[in-house]
Amino acid sequence: MIRYVYTFLLILVAPFLLFGLYKKKSGKPSFGPRWKEHFGRTPPLKDQSTAPIWVHTVSVGETIAATPFIKQLKEKYPDTPIVITTTTSTGAEQAEKLNDIAEHRYMPLDLPFAIKGFLRSIQPKMMLIMETELWPNTIHYVAKSNTPITVINARLSQRSAERYAKFPSVFKLLSNGITRILCQHQSDADRFKQLGVPPEKLAVTGSLKFDIIIPPATIEAGHQLREQLGTERSVWIAASTHNGEDEQVLAAHQTLLKTHPNALLILVPRHPERFNDVYQLSNTLGFNTAKRTQPQSDFSQVQVYLGDTMGEMLILMQAADVCFMGGSLLGDKVGGHNLLEPAAVGLPCLIGSSYYNFTDITNQLTEVKAAFVCQNSHEIAMHLTSLFSSEGQRLNCKNNAFTVLQRNQGAVQKTVSNIKLF
**Which residue of the set 37, 62, 131, 245 is catalytic?**
62
The Cα 234–Cα 217 span in angstroms is: 23
CB-based contact 375:345 (threshold 8 Å): no
Other C-beta atoms lying within 10 Å of the C-beta of residue 275 = 23
CB-based contact 138:118 (threshold 8 Å): no
Q: Return the H-helix or E-strand segment holding 224.
A: helix 216-229
Q: Where are the alpha helices (DSSP H) in 136-204?
A: 136-144, 158-166, 168-175, 186-194
Query: Given strand 322-325, what is the order of strands in its sheet?
Result: 289-291, 304-306, 264-269, 235-241, 322-325, 349-352, 371-374
227 is catalytic: no
CB-based contact 392:260 (threshold 8 Å): no
The Cα 282–Cα 267 span in angstroms is: 10
135 alpha carbon, distance to own chain's centre: 19
Torsion of Cα atoms, 149 then 155 then 159 then 162, to 10°: 40
Residues in the chain: 422
**Residue 351, beta-bridge partner list:** 325, 373
The Cα 35–Cα 98 span in angstroms is: 21
The Cα 356–Cα 351 span in angstroms is: 12
Residue 50 DSSP label: S
- Phi/psi region, residue 331 (left: phi>0; alpha: psi -120 to 50; beta: rest), is left
* Residues with catalytic roles: 62
